[in-house]
Amino acid sequence: MATPKIVADLETQLATSLAIGGTSFTLSSGVDDDGTALPDGKYYFTIDNGTSQKEYVVGTLATGTSVTSVSNVTRQGTESSGVDRAHRVGASVIMTDFLTYKNYIDETTVAGAADADTATKGVLESGTTAEIDADTATGSTGAELAVTPDKLVLSKYGTRLPTADEKTFLTAIEQNTVPPQVVPFTASGTWTKDAGLKYITVEGVGGGGGGGTSTSSTKTGGSGGGYFRKLILASALGATETVTIGAAGLEGATGTNGGATTFGAHCTGNGGTGGNTAVAAGGTATGGDINIQGQASSEAISDGNQSSTSYDGGIGGSSMLGHGGVWGTSPASGYGAGGSGGSTDSRGIGSGTNGTAGIVIVTEYYS
């Protein structure tokens, strides 16, 4: 709505009559007491001041004396199209100060006042939910944003501000419109990159070594497979990546080694060593942001509760994702764990246990 013009000391007459409901009239003169022509624009007038026909009106002045879009205005400032009373030619017309200033103040308070900032008083803009969630400081008008009670919620950071690292991390998580997808591989295969992928984390472990047969104090369990974990950006991944799962080592007089687990050319988790005549070192890993060697196995030990020729089988080494077997009575569990050496006492005869195969777990993050 246009801001009304303010002109001091204007007094003139109607050059045309106004019937009830009329929406236009002409002034006898369009100049103020100093002889300055009124600029085109919106004005408030009092017609027939001091008579029983007194009426407040508002209209748009154009071409000097023609007033159009005329509305009646109550003392409270309510406008309705057309005049409520008839007015003759020659009726007095003066400016109406109180309505002019009321309208001016109403409009400037809402739309024309200066925007506020942290140092200046002025207009504030109510923040929308989207603006508040985005930590926006100013709104579409340039004014600083105010938070209304309906949008005032407990900060996701509690009663303190977030650190820079927390804010970066949380912003990244909030921008993921698709929940992370977990793709496990327990057998060799092919991983395929889908549209919209941002990055993955991949972890895996090599196969655990098989346990040795405990016929003397030097026989051991198998060791655990090596573990890797790596974050890889989508741009660094091929359309497909070959996944190889390391096989479990088998028990025997000399247990076999576990197989290597690989994710493309990015990461490798080597298998654990099979049980033999010495403690078996755990499998190593390469290529990951984190590489953890599997646990070494233990050799067989003499059973003091039995004869001098009785032995408890060596304990299998654990991996990051599995537990080694124990004494031939408790087999390896999970992924990449070493088998136990066989016992030659009442707990079991001769044979050790197999290790467990490896695994690859791919967690996919999308935009």
- 364 and 249 within one domain: yes
Number of domains forming the structure of the chain: 2
Distance CA 80, CA 66 (A): 20
| Residue 2 maps to a domain | no
Q: Could you tell me the pTM of the whole model? A: 0.53
- The pairs formed by 175-179 with CB atoms below 8 angstroms and a separation of 24 or more are 175/367, 176/365, 176/366, 176/367, 177/366, 177/367, 178/366, 178/367
One domain, residues 247 and 103: no
The reported pLDDT for the residue numbered 38 is 86
Closest CA to 275 of 341, 358, 207, 326: 341
Residue 249 lies in a domain: yes
Query: What element of type H or E holds 312?
Result: strand 311-312
Do residues 56 and 175 share a domain?
no
Residue 97 included in any domain? yes
Place of tokens 């408030």: 44
Write out pLDDT tens, residues 93-119: 998 766 666 666 666 655 556 676 666
Candidates 299, 142, 282; CA nearest to 206 is 282
Q: Quick check: is 51 in a domain?
A: yes
Positions of the chain with pLDDT under 50: 1, 153-155, 157, 159, 306-307
Q: Which of 62, 87, 110 is the last residue of a domain?
A: 110
Same-domain status, 276 and 184: yes
Domain span holding position 222: 171-367
What pLDDT score was predicted for residue 155? 47
Vertex 131 angle, CA 128 and 134, to 5°: 150
Q: What is the helix (H) or strand (E) element at residue 168, kind and residue range?
A: helix 164-174
Which one of 94, 110, 126 terminates a domain? 110
Report CA-CA distances (Å) from 360 to 79, 143, 182, 294.
Answer: 76, 53, 11, 15
Establish if 178 belongs to a structural domain: yes
